[in-house]
Amino acid sequence: MTPPIYLDYNATTPLDPGVREAMRPFLEEVWGNPSSVHQVGRRARALLDDARDRAASLLKCKPSEVIFTSGGTESASLALCGTARLLQSKGRHLVTSAVEHDAVLHTCRYLARKEGFDLTVLPVDASGRVDPATLRQALRPDTILVSIMAANNEIGTLQPVAELGAICREHGVRFHTDAVQWFGKEPVASVHQFNADLVSICAHKFHGPKGAGALFIRSPLLPDPILFGGGQENERRAGTENLAAIAGLVAAMERFVPDPVFSRSQLEPLGNRLKAMAGAMEGVHYVGAGERGLANTVSFVVEGTDSIALLAGLDLEGVCASSGSACSAGSVEPSHVVAALGYPPELANALVRFSLGRETRPEDINHVLEVFPEVVTRARPRPSRRDASD
């Protein structure tokens, strides 16, 4: 059986063999609880501390500023809920953008709906970017926290995070960026390049294991915990640390972050071929920021059909693609990102995202170019005989 052509790397990536080997000792030998005081626990604690030191060395921050989590969603929830609750005596105004991942949008809306915070959702331009001037205008004396993503998961737009973060710092407002789609795809010289107080990271987006992530928290900020129990992770995240997952996260960071595993020089020419295909097809529109976007991400909206029909048709042709976020329990819903760009609901419901990776070959793109026009034709409803006669 011919293996499928996988073009959904923004959803998840295969576990790298070298990362798997780095995790193996923690699955077979180092099984102790890092909080135990005996020698088995102390060995686990020493290796946990070593992993934190290595992550901090790569990020160029203090080890105490690295909190290990279960992934991007937990990191975002801790950053947003923990910081908002910590600072609520100073103000209750939060700011985010209309194109954030649901892990951020839903958390902000929860805080507004259930805990009495006031939320401003910033608009974006036609490419999905937040105008820094719009953020500056939105800030108020009671603004305590802003959350704007670094790179968009659905259409690949890169936000001017350093500039946005500088504006927040100028006004004494804490800034969080969801950098889940940035790490492994765009250069990271230092976590401080984002000008952020909080930065979310997720391992399985760059060939690490699922269930592993980190949150950078610039000291002396200490968000309130959202999990309670033991005093693990500098008392920010209760629960026995998942050493195997942490080892995989750090190994993937060391292998694939300094020199991004998603090579722009390799992937941009392949993505440009997909963009050209969209430009040549009637009723198919590229959605994104062009050169100001992730090189691996190419998204279209298609007139006269919907994402379900398109993705099913591609799957039948052996191509794995997505309609955007993969975090909705397998559901395919209208894209809030496309809607935020000003497209009508029927097109927000007809998004196809191809996200390429290191295993993507030119012949894979050749296959997509060959089958996609027919997939679109089949996905569009055929006119009835009565329509044809009219």
Q: What is the pLDDT of residues 80-119, one digit of tens each?
A: 999 999 999 999 999 999 999 999 999 999 999 999 999 9
Spatial separation of the C-alpha atoms in residues 271 and 281, rounded to whole Å: 16
Whole-number average pLDDT of the chain: 95
Digit-coded pLDDT (tens) for 135-147 = 999 999 999 999 9
Contact 179, 41 (CB under 8 A): no
Domains and CATH numbers, the chain: 5-13+261-382 (3.90.1150.10), 17-256 (3.40.640.10)
Digit-coded pLDDT (tens) for 123-139 = 999 999 999 999 999 99
Looking at residue 387, what is its pLDDT?
A: 54
Contact 297, 287 (CB under 8 A): no
Digit-coded pLDDT (tens) for 257-288 = 999 999 999 999 999 999 999 889 999 999 99
- 279: number of Cβ within 10 Å: 10
Q: What is the mean pLDDT of residues 289-314?
A: 96
Query: Percent of the chain at pLDDT above 90?
Result: 91
Among 273, 205, 286, smallest CA distance to 12 is for: 205
Q: What is the mean pLDDT of residues 330-349?
A: 88
Q: What is the mean pLDDT of residues 163-180?
A: 98
**Residue 382 pLDDT grade (very low, low, confident, very high; cuts 50, 70, 90):** confident
What amino acid positions are annotated as catalytic residues?
Answer: 327
Looking at residue 326, what is its pLDDT?
A: 58
| DSSP string of 45-97, one letter each residue | HHHHHHHHHHHHHHHTS-GGGEEEESSHHHHHHHHHHHHHHHHTTT--EEEEE
The verdict on pTM exceeding 0.85 is yes
**Residue 231 pLDDT grade (very low, low, confident, very high; cuts 50, 70, 90):** confident
Phi, then psi, of 120 in degrees rounded to 5: -110, 125
Tokens coding 200: 């979310």
Spatial separation of the C-alpha atoms in residues 198 and 3, rounded to whole Å: 40
Looking at residue 383, what is its pLDDT?
A: 66
Looking at residue 329, what is its pLDDT?
A: 43
Chain centroid to Cα 194, Å, comes to 15
Higher-pLDDT residue of 385 and 371 is: 371
Q: What is the mean pLDDT of residues 353-360?
A: 98
